[in-house]
C-alpha cells in the first residue's frame, strides 16, 4: 500500500513506523521531524552484505555511502552490520572517527580533497584514498612522504557510461568533474605515474556511474569496462590491480510507478560478468567493493510535518503549506524529485483532490511535492512525506535561518533521538558582532 516497507496503519488508524504511532512521535518531538526505521536500515545492510558474501564468496565488501545519511548513530549501525564506509569530506571522516568506526574499512572520495583532509585520512590510517586527479596524487604522495608513510590509494575512473538516459549510452563522457578518463589515456597515465612514486601504493580502481538507476545493464557494462582497464594495466604496466570498486547508484521506490530491481539481482548479475571477464582477460578476480547509499536508507525514512495554511486558488492550484520545506528537503527544488505522502493522522482517507505541498521558505520554488492526490487536508493535519531517509537530513540547510529538525530513530515501538533539534541558539552560534561595529 505504501512505497516503503517501513510503514503500516495501526489499530488507531494512524500511520506507524518501527512500531511507533506517528501522531505520538509528533506529540513527543514536535514537527518537522525526520524519523528513521532502524530495523529496515539493518535489513538493507544485511541484504547487501549477504548477497556480496554469497556471490563473491567473501572476496568483496559493501560500503555505506555516508553522504546519503551521515550521523554518528548511522556509522555505528553500519559498523555493527559489518559494512565499510565511503566518506567524501573531512566532516564525514570526522563523524566516523568520533563514532569509533574502524578506519581500516573507510574509503575517502572527492574531486578536490584539501591537504588537511588528506592529512587526517593518512593520520587515521584509513583503508583507501580514492585519488581523483594528478594534482591530488602528488599531494597525497607528498603528505605521506612527510609522515614517512605509504598511502594506499585507488583511482576514480570515468568509464564513459551515462546511465541516466532511459536507453543508457556509453558516450565517452569526458565532461565530468570526477576522475580520469579512459579514452584519452589519462587513466593509464595516472597509474603509470603512481607506480613511480615512493609513498603511494596502488591498490584499486573505482567508478560510479550515477544514482537512482533502475537498469542492470549499465552496471554490467561498467564492470566490463573497468576489468578491461585492469587487464590493460597488467599488460602495459605489469601491475595487477587487486581491487575493483563499482560505486553505488541503485534506485529506490519514491513513488508507486518506480520499479527498482532487487539488490540481490544486481549483485548476482554483476558478479557473473566479473567472473566471466576475468576468465576471458586472464586476470585474477579482484576484490570487489560496492557503495550503496540511497538504497540503504531512503525507504527507511519519513519526514513528519504539521499542515498550516491551505490556499485554494480556484481553477489554478491548491497549495498546502507545511512547517518545513526546502531547508529540510531540497530535492524537489534541486532536481524536481518525486515523493509520495500520506496523512499520518488518517492514512487511509480517500485521496480525492489534487494538491501541491509547499514549504515555508521565502522562495516560490520551495515545494516538496507538485500535484499529488490527497484527501482533503486541514490545518493541523500531520503530513508524512515518504522515503526521505537519503539525501534529506544530509542536504539540509539553515536557509531562512530555520533550525534543522531532529532525527528520531525508531525500533520495536521505541523511539530515540539520534540528532537533536536545532534551536535559535544554534542559528546564531557562529555569528559575531565585531566590537567596532
Ligand atoms: N559512491 C560514490 C563515489 C558516489 O558519488 C555516490 C553518490 C555513491 C557512492 C552513492 O550513490 P547512491 O547509492 O546513493 O545512489 N544528492 C543526490 C544524490 C547524489 C549522489 C552523489 N554520489 C540526490 O539527492 O539524489
Cβ pair 70, 394 in contact under 8 A: yes
- Per-residue pLDDT in tens (0 to 9) along the chain, 437 residues: 899 888 999 999 999 999 999 999 999 999 999 999 999 999 999 999 999 999 999 999 999 999 999 999 999 999 999 999 999 999 999 999 999 999 999 999 999 999 999 999 999 999 999 999 999 999 999 999 999 999 999 999 999 887 765 555 554 467 888 999 998 999 999 999 999 999 999 999 999 999 999 999 999 999 999 999 999 999 999 999 999 999 999 999 999 999 999 999 999 999 999 999 999 999 999 999 999 999 999 999 999 999 999 999 999 999 999 999 999 999 999 999 999 999 999 999 999 999 999 999 999 999 999 999 999 999 999 999 999 999 999 999 999 999 999 999 999 999 999 999 999 999 999 999 999 99
Say yes or no: CB of residue 292 within 6 Å of ligand 1: yes
Query: Catalytic residue numbers?
Result: 362
**Residue 176: its pLDDT value, please?**
83
Which of 85, 211, 218, 335 is the pocket-test mutation for ligand 1 (most atoms within 8 Å of CB)?
Answer: 211
**Residue 221: its pLDDT value, please?**
95
**Residue 173: its pLDDT value, please?**
67
Domain 7-37+298-428 = CATH 2.40.37.10: yes
Say yes or no: CB of residue 331 within 6 Å of ligand 1: yes
Cβ pair 412, 54 in contact under 8 A: no
**Residue 275: its pLDDT value, please?**
98
Say yes or no: CB of residue 291 within 6 Å of ligand 1: yes
Cβ pair 302, 346 in contact under 8 A: no
Domain 109-292 = CATH 3.20.20.10: yes
| Interatomic CA distance for residues 93 and 82, integer angstroms | 18
Q: Is 410 exposed, middle or buried (0-12, 13-18, 19+ CB in 10 A)?
A: buried
Cβ pair 384, 348 in contact under 8 A: no
Say yes or no: CB of residue 65 within 6 Å of ligand 1: yes
**Residue 262: its pLDDT value, please?**
92
**Residue 174: its pLDDT value, please?**
76
CA 249 – ligand 1 centroid, Å? 6
Tell me if 7-37+298-428 shares its fold with 109-292.
no
Residue spans per domain, the chain: 7-37+298-428, 109-292
Nearest CA to ligand 1 atom 17: 391
Whose CA is closest to 38, among 92, 9, 81?
A: 81
Whose CA is closest to 3, among 421, 289, 387?
A: 387
DSSP symbol at 387? S
Say yes or no: CB of residue 293 within 6 Å of ligand 1: yes
Say yes or no: CB of residue 107 within 6 Å of ligand 1: no
Task: For residue 32, say if its preceding peptide bond is cis, omega within 30 degrees of 0.
Answer: yes
CA 213 – ligand 1 centroid, Å? 11
Residue 95 exposure: Cα atoms within 13 Å on the Cβ side:
22
Please give the number of the atom of ligand 1 that sits closest to the Cα of 210. 15
CA 390 – ligand 1 centroid, Å? 10
Which of 65, 164, 204, 267 is the pocket-test mutation for ligand 1 (most atoms within 8 Å of CB)?
Answer: 65
Nearest CA to ligand 1 atom 6: 248
**Residue 165: its pLDDT value, please?**
56
Amino acid at each position: 500500500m505504501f512505497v516503503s516497507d517501513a510503514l503500516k496503519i495501526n489499530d488507531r488508524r494512524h500511520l506507524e513506523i518501527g512500531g511507533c504511532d506517528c501522531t505520538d512521535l509528533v506529540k513527543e518531538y514536535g514537527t518537522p521531524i525526520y524519523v528513521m526505521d532502524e530495523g529496515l536500515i539493518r535489513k538493507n545492510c544485511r541484504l547487501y552484505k549477504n548477497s556480496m558474501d554469497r556471490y563473491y564468496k567473501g572476496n568483496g565488501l559493501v560500503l555505506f555511502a555516508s553522504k546519503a545519511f551521515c550521523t554518528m548513530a548511522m556509522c555505528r549501525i553500519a559498523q555493527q552490520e559489518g559494512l565499510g564506509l565511503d566518506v567524501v569530506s573531512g566532516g564525514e571522516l570526522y563523524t566516523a572517527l568520533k563514532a569509533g568506526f574502524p578506519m581500516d574499512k573507510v574509503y575517502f572520495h572527492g574531486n578536490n580533497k584539501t591537504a588537511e583532509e588528506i592529512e587526517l585520512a593518512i593520520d587515521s590510517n584509513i583503508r583507501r584514498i580514492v585519488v581523483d586527479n594528478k594534482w591530488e596524487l602528488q599531494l597525497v604522495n607528498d603528505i605521506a612522504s612527510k609522515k614517512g608513510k605509504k598511502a594506499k590509494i585507488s583511482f576514480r575512473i570515468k568509464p564513459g557510461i551515462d546511465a541516466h538516459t532511459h536507453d543508457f549510452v556509453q558516450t565517452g563522457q569526458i565532461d565530468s568533474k570526477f576522475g580520469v578518463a579512459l579514452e584519452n589515456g589519462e587513466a593509464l597515465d595516472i597509474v603509470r605515474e603512481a607506480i613511480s612514486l615512493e609513498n603511494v601504493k596502488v591498490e584499486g580502481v573505482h567508478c560510479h556511474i550515477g544514482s537512482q538507476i533502475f537498469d542492470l545493464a549499465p552496471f554490467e557494462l561498467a564492470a566490463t569496462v573497468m576489468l578491461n582497464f585492469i587487464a590493460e594495466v597488467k599488460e602495459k604496466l605489469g601491475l595487477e590491480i587487486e581491487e575493483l570498486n563499482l560505486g553505488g547508484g541503485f534506485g529506490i521506490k519514491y513513488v508507486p510507478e518506480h520499479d527498482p530491481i532487487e539488490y540481490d539481482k544486481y549483485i548476482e548479475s554483476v558478479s557473473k560478468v566479473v567472473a566471466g571477464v576475468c576468465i576471458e582477460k586472464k586476470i585474477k578476480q579482484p576484490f570487489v567493493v560496492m557503495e550503496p547509499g540511497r538504497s540503504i536508507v531512503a525507504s527507511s525514512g519519513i519526514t513528519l510535518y504539521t499542515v498550516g495554511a491551505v490556499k485554494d486558488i480556484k481553477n489554478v492550484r491548491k497549495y498546502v503549506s507545511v512547517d518545513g520545506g526546502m531547508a529540510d528537503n531540497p530535492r524537489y527544488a534541486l532536481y524536481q524529485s518525486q515523493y509520495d505522502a500520506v496523512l499520518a493522522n488518517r492514512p487511509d482517507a480517500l485521496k480525492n483532490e489534487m494538491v501541491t505541498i509547499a514549504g515555508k521558505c521565502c522562495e516560490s520554488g520551495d515545494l516538496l511535492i507538485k500535484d499529488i492526490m490527497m484527501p482533503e487536508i486541514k490545518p493541523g493535519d500531520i503530513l508524512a512525506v515518504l522515503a526521505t531517509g537519503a539525501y534529506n537530513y544530509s542536504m539540509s540547510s539553515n536557509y531562512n535561518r530555520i533550525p534543522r529538525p531532529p532525527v528520531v530513530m525508531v525500533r520495536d515501538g521505541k523511539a530515540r533521538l539520534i540528532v537533536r533539534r536545532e534551536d535559535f541558539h544554534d542559528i546564531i552560534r557562529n555569528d559575531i558582532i565585531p566590537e567596532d561595529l
